[in-house]
Amino acid sequence: MGVEWTEKEAAHLLSRATFFPGKKEVSASLELGMEETVRRLLAGESLTGTTSELLPIEQLKADGKDLAADQIGDQQTYWIHRMVTTEAPLIEKMTLFWHGHFVSSYQKVREIPLMLRQIQMFRDNAVGNFYKLVKEVGQDPAMMLYLDVNNNRKSAPNENYAREVMELFTLGIGNYTETDIREAARALTGWTYDKKADQVKFNAKQHDTGKKTFLGWSGNFDDRDVVAVLFKQDALPHFVAQKLLTYFAVDHPSTDWINELAAVFAKQNDIGETLKAMFLSDAFYADEVKGSLIKTPVEYVVGIVKAFNLPLSKGYAGAMRKMGQELYLPPDVAGWRGGATWLMTTNLLSRYQFAESIAKRVNNAVLTAKDNVLPAGAKPEEWVELYAKLAGLWSVGEKSEAVLSKYADETFLHATQKANGMRGLLQLIMISPEAQMK
């Protein structure tokens, strides 16, 4: 390791591996050091030593009203609450990652318990063995309903899951043929989900027992064989490595970086070890990597809510939806497109509107807290730096700093009543170009 572990590096890691690089978390990470910080993140251990209890949804209120377990909107709000309060943020962030990778949507599944069960499966396997996760996904009831596995019978194989398990889950386009899809579908026949009994069942009479040739291998394959053959493909570790790098590091990772990370993954199919290698690499902390990814709506909203310790509201899920991301409801089997699509005109406007609403809601106690006040005579730039870090923004460009500093100087620095100007500064920070990035 040739990277110096400073405030900037710690904040960068936390901006990618968690939902909010707060002052306490950055300070704790500096004290722990890079390796121990990464270890704790992967282990789901608190960086600060804080413990928190996740209350069941029935014991929580949003906007002063009880949340109901049988309402999808309330479940969205509850997941937001979990992201804001968790002491295992990387585990929760990987849960969200898998939700956008192994996509199922409530719009088709229509069973809240099954969607929750699937998300818990992702949480349990968040940084674990990918082989195990792929096997479990294939017999997950929500996935089976979403990709019509119940219709996959010997007489008429349904190719939906067979296609997506290769195209979107493990190999990527160009690494299989239409024949491979048909043969895999035959191998996967016979599995069904019985809604009434709430059981995944195998009907041997509906399973095709004939010989199949799949990705260069032949045999009387079943579902276990399909997974085994998938993991014999050279494309799989590269596909996984690229997905993780694109999510956590850069939009377009180099071939060398993909190959390097794929080699780590290929040893044990372990997501945690792969992430560890990424987070401890010099390349991850390069200047061109920092601040290069656009925050997802979930990251933008959760980070702001956590930054200002805001009370739970159903409006947060609605704001995310307007920004282009709705929990439990990905747009299609390919999930959210991400990247520049997050900043399309209507989505960006929704971010600005959310920032404005939040600035009005920030409690005066936050503005007057000891850690958020500077002594008389402090320069405008010092106020900008202080408030930027309060919002989780550890680096502000020269142009933004100049505009923000001028605003601070002209509004509250020399005024008796400072609250409105301070809120205005927070709002401008939240809508700054840098605040959209991580």
Residue 275: name the closest of 233, 245, 305 by CA.
245
* Global model pTM greater than 0.95: yes
pLDDT digits (tens, 9 = 90+) for 391-426: 999 999 999 999 999 999 999 999 999 999 999 999
Give the angle 87-88-91 at the CA atoms, nearest 5°: 160
Strand partners, 61: 66
- Residue 244: pLDDT over 70: yes
DSSP letter string, 378-437: --HHHHHHHHHHHTT-----HHHHHHHHHHHHHHTTT-S--HHHHHHHHHHHHTSGGGGB
Secondary structure E strands in 212-361: 212-214, 217-219
Phi-psi category of residue 168: left, alpha or beta, with phi > 0 → left and psi -120 to 50 → alpha? alpha
pLDDT digits (tens, 9 = 90+) for 93-152: 999 999 999 999 999 999 999 999 999 999 999 999 999 999 999 999 999 999 999 999
Average pLDDT of the chain, as a whole number: 97
CB of 158 closer than 8 Å to CB of 114: no
Cα 221 to the center of its chain, rounded Å: 34
Residue 72 tokens, joined: 């999808």
- Confidence band of 1 (pLDDT split at 50, 70, 90): low
What is the number of other CB atoms lying within 10 angstroms of the CB of residue 240?
A: 24
pLDDT digits (tens, 9 = 90+) for 151-202: 999 999 999 999 999 999 999 999 999 999 999 999 999 999 999 999 999 9
**pLDDT, mean of residues 214-240:** 98
Q: How far apart are CA 284 and CA 21, in angstroms?
A: 16
- Confidence band of 381 (pLDDT split at 50, 70, 90): very high
Q: How far apart are CA 410 and CA 438, in angstroms?
A: 29
pLDDT digits (tens, 9 = 90+) for 328-364: 999 999 999 999 999 999 999 999 999 999 999 999 9
Strand partners, 66: 61
- Confidence band of 2 (pLDDT split at 50, 70, 90): confident
Number of H helices, E strands in the chain: 22, 6
pLDDT digits (tens, 9 = 90+) for 300-337: 999 999 999 999 999 999 999 999 999 999 999 999 99
- Confidence band of 207 (pLDDT split at 50, 70, 90): very high
What is the number of other CB atoms lying within 10 angstroms of the CB of residue 286?
A: 14
**pLDDT, mean of residues 73-78:** 98
Q: How far apart are CA 271 and CA 400, in angstroms?
A: 38
**210 phi and psi, to 5 degrees?**
-75, 170
- Residue 257: pLDDT over 70: yes
- Residue 52: pLDDT over 90: no
Residue 145 tokens, joined: 């309903």
- Confidence band of 388 (pLDDT split at 50, 70, 90): very high
**pLDDT, mean of residues 231-247:** 98
Q: How far apart are CA 288 and CA 5, in angstroms?
A: 17
CB of 387 closer than 8 Å to CB of 425: yes
- Residue 16: pLDDT over 90: yes
Q: How far apart are CA 60 and CA 371, in angstroms?
A: 29
Give the angle 45-46-51 at the CA atoms, nearest 5°: 110
Residue 186: name the closest of 237, 137, 223 by CA.
223
Domain extents for the chain?
297-436
Residue 278: name the closest of 244, 311, 251, 304 by CA.
244
3-state secondary structure of 159: coil
Residue 281: name the closest of 265, 257, 252, 247 by CA.
257
- In the chain, % of residues over pLDDT 70: 100
